[in-house]
Structure 1
């Protein structure tokens, strides 16, 4: 664990704008994500104020059937809406800190306070190389080891390419 100072989040997240589908462009994966392709996170507000966190993916191959894990998230810091807790498996809960967010909500960077897990996500299945490098720099500036990030194939032709899982 790299640790360091508390993980700084963005100043404010408009939850309504944040909801919807995000393609997982790259991550420092946890056990449930390793080797997955076509990963997407889908967030939906619930009537009880919590957030459905739906992770859709294919296990290891674009020929594999689409699978889904469903979790629940809730906002911890209601002043910013940028710090959440997420639970996919009881009783495990983990911190979800929105540390980078495009003003047009086209990309986001999420980190775990341990700095051992991170996600770059976007509304489209690809981001430009320049954008990707800038987001890696953002992670480095927040104390993450950006060399640990692996790109998630969103298209079959990306499988096996340099930098992809």
Structure 2
């Protein structure tokens, strides 16, 4: 009987997959580039603050968004994404996942699982040499995140991140700045 709820959930996900997400969430980059640099996992671990993103249903009305990555005993990564619904001072909600490095990607590509057996791509497309910022996307070009180690950045720092995303081929007019 435990199989039935999983089967129903899988059926619901497949039914939703028939919807056309391009109508709501357009492709912001039809030619997503391969990641520019390798990623040293131990340097990437820790807390990241979202400065901007392409809007997605799973992040609707999220502010004060953070992602925290910690190493698990099995070598995979524990992911905890946190959002404050509607305002930076509102109640937070979190989602936990497990990420696995993609072989041959020099640490720049991960497969993330929030609900087994479904995986999502997480590509570190570019990052600062000192790991103070990263630009994250995935192959469809519908998702993009600008992340920093600091909760707040200057307008100049933000403009630099946006310019870097544009240089990777992203339509930066689709970015939604996150309140931190």
Which bracket does the TM-score occupy, shorter chain normalised?
Answer: 0.7 to 0.9
Question: Is residue 46 from structure 1 mapped to residue 72 from structure 2 by the alignment?
Answer: yes
The structure with the largest helix share of the pair is 2
4+ residue runs over 6 A deviation = none
Using the TM superposition, give the Cα deviation of residue 36 of structure 1 relative to its aligned residue in structure 2, in angstroms. Answer: 0.7
- Contact between 1:96 and 1:112, CA under 8 Å: does it hold in 2? yes
Question: Is residue 57 from structure 1 mapped to residue 76 from structure 2 by the alignment?
Answer: no
Unaligned runs of 5+ in 2: 1-26
Q: For residue 110 of structure 2, what is the aligned residue in structure 1?
A: 84
Q: For residue 153 of structure 2, what is the aligned residue in structure 1?
A: 127
Using the TM superposition, give the Cα deviation of residue 78 of structure 1 relative to its aligned residue in structure 2, in angstroms. Answer: 4.3
Task: Kindly provide the CA deviation profile for residues 48-67 of structure 1, in whole angstroms up to 9, marking residues without a partner as x.
Answer: 12111101121112343221
Question: 1:3 aligned to 26, 30, 46, which one?
Answer: 30
Q: Cα RMSD over matched residues?
A: 1.6
Q: Distance in 2 between matches of 1:98 and 1:79?
A: 10
3-state SS of paired residue (1:32): helix
Q: Distance in 1 between matches of 2:118 and 2:86?
A: 25
Between stretches 95-104 and 57-66, larger displacement belongs to: 57-66
Q: Distance in 2 between matches of 1:94 and 1:74?
A: 10
